[in-house]
Amino acid sequence: MMDLILPDVITSVLETRFIGQRVIHFPSHGSTMEAAKQEARQKAVEGTVVIAEEQTSGKGRAKRIWLSPKGSIALSVVLYPDVSQLSYLVMIASLAAVRSIEAVTGLQTQLKWPNDVLIKGSKVCGILIESELQGSNVAWAIIGIGINANNTMKDYPKIAAAATSLSDEMGKDVSRVAIIRCLLVEMEKLYLSVGDGEHIYQEWRGRLITLGKKVQVLSGERVLDGVAEDVSRDGSLLLRHGNNYLSRIVAGDVTLRDAG
């Protein structure tokens, strides 16, 4: 029988100060990003988590659709960071995701720039950050995390070739509650310790499988080829082209061109 992600079970003796101390749970919702944004606009307490058992209009990066059927994990976290912390949210979310998946399942994960979590090269988790500025301050920021958890990916032929799930990898269902609890604890640890961001940047950079590889980057309408040389502190990718020119890519999708 499928485990339900009940708020009480998430919050019970959760070792955080604020992330996940308030959980709003929907059996079904269009998108937890939209619900979390509404919460943030009404000044919900920082760390409020919105979870849906399934999303009917899940949002991915670059206006793509994110499939979140029952059995997956779909959650959004409301934060009010300082503007200097904004670019680290993607790193914090990525690291919290890989740490929690690895700790609970024992599976090995990889990070593909900017924030795809992979297992053996297939995507298992996606991260979306949305924020609103008010003058030079952050009014709110939302971290959205979607994990293919107890889902059989071959039931979704359109994405099956590039995606995997925790249960497909484990050969059995995983405890979504355990993953969520661990995710929230890790997220708060990273968020509270962000400081100047250096250690978070270094850990994120160190885990990226993209660096040093030949890649093709789709950034808006542009398709760029080169070697992923480095990432900068603001999270952008530095791509070295054949003519030695270096471009800085703020947002895009990377395909690795070399095996290994």
Using CB under 6 A as the criterion, which residues of the chain lie in contact with ligand BTN when the complex forms? 31-33, 55, 58-61, 64, 66, 68, 74-76, 126-128, 144-146
Minimum CB distance to ligand BTN, residue 136 (Å): 27
C-alpha 60: how far from chain center: 10
Minimum CB distance to ligand BTN, residue 67 (Å): 9
Q: What is the β-pairing status of strands 49-52 and 23-26?
A: parallel
C-beta closer to ligand BTN: residue 47 or 146: 146
Q: How is residue 243 written in tokens?
A: 């003519």
Minimum CB distance to ligand BTN, residue 235 (Å): 15
Query: Alpha-carbon distance 184 to 253, whole Å?
Result: 26
Minimum CB distance to ligand BTN, residue 124 (Å): 11
Minimum CB distance to ligand BTN, residue 57 (Å): 7
C-beta closer to ligand BTN: residue 50 or 227: 50
C-beta closer to ligand BTN: residue 107 or 159: 159
Q: How is residue 29 written in tokens?
A: 């919702």
The residues, ordered by sequence, that sit 6+ positions from 163 with a Cβ below 8 Å of its Cβ are 122, 123, 124, 148, 153, 156
Half-sphere exposure of residue 146: CA atoms within 13 angstroms, side-chain side: 26
Long-range contact set of residues 99-102: C-beta below 8 Å, sequence gap at least 24: 99/182, 99/186, 100/179, 100/180, 100/182, 100/183, 100/185, 100/186, 101/125, 101/147, 101/166, 101/179
Minimum CB distance to ligand BTN, residue 241 (Å): 26
Minimum CB distance to ligand BTN, residue 58 (Å): 4
C-beta closer to ligand BTN: residue 127 or 153: 127
DSSP letter for each residue of 66-123: --B-TTSEEEEEEE---GGGGGGHHHHHHHHHHHHHHHHH----EEETTTEEEETTEE
C-beta closer to ligand BTN: residue 30 or 240: 30
C-beta closer to ligand BTN: residue 246 or 250: 250
- Which residue, among 260, 258, 244, 251, has the nearest Cα to 217 in the 3D structure? 251
C-beta closer to ligand BTN: residue 7 or 60: 60
Find the residue with minimal CB distance to ligand BTN: 126
